[in-house]
Amino acid sequence: MLRTVSLAVVLLLATPAPAPAQEGGPDLYRQSYAAEARGDYNLAYDLLQRLGPAGGTYVAWLRRGWLHYLAGRHAQAAAAYQQAVELQPGAVEPRLGAMLPLMALRRWKDAERVGGEVLALAPGDATALARLAWVHYNQGRYAEAEPLYRRALAAFPASADNRTGLGWTLLKLGRHKEAREAFEAVLAFAPDQPNAHLGLGQVP
């Protein structure tokens, strides 16, 4: 009886353990989105890294760019978005995404170039117009920023951020009456907009 039990134990130990079930791509994406929603951007990124060959897709690179940006890894974000562009050269979204880390890095010329690519692919894209306006503003090119803000506002007149940006641009151009009107227009429907309050306080 003892020999029978011992033989059973030996056979059990010699039997290979079943391989753990691999997580599928959809489930990894689901977990990654959940981690992002909790603010755990590093875990959200690490989950993408488990995708294996599926991690080389356009969507995976696009998401890497976004998660790098949220985590403050701006250079890596810009590089990841560029990988997405190379996989889908006609896509607008990775270029719009890339503008964010490029602006955070104050790489204004690169951000301007990418914004120009967006407008070549999607003329009148309001997000690109607003971001390009901000790029010009930060380079002190206020006369070029103004029409971009106005074009963005023509598409989205209720954008508090863009109208505030226009107000600051007008203020820098010395057009104080128009700047005041822009800030007051923002505060009429977004009374707690801090940059509009700050701008209004700067108007002579």
> Domain end: 89, 123, 157, which one?
123
pLDDT digits (tens, 9 = 90+) for 129-143: 999 999 999 999 999
Give the structural domain span for 198.
133-204
**Same-domain pairing of 118 and 162:** no
Number of domains in the chain: 2
Query: Residue 17: left if φ>0, alpha if ψ -120 to 50, beta else—which one?
Result: beta
Beta-carbon contacts of 90 under 8 Å, excluding residues fewer than 6 positions away, are: 121
Q: What is the pLDDT of residue 23?
A: 55
- State the residue for tokens 């700067």: 202
Chain centre to alpha carbon of residue 122: 18
pLDDT of residue 154: 97
Last residue of a domain, one of 91, 123, 155: 123
Residues 43, 93 within the same domain: yes
Tokens of 73: 């890894």
Q: What's the chain's length in residues?
A: 204
Q: What is the DSSP letter of 161?
A: H
**pLDDT 10s digits, 51-80:** 988 889 999 999 999 999 999 999 999 999
Q: Are residues 118 and 190 in the same domain?
A: no
Distance CA 1, CA 16 (A): 25
pTM of this prediction? 0.84
Can you tell me the distance from the alpha carbon of 183 to that of 101, in angstroms, rounded to the nearest whole number? 28
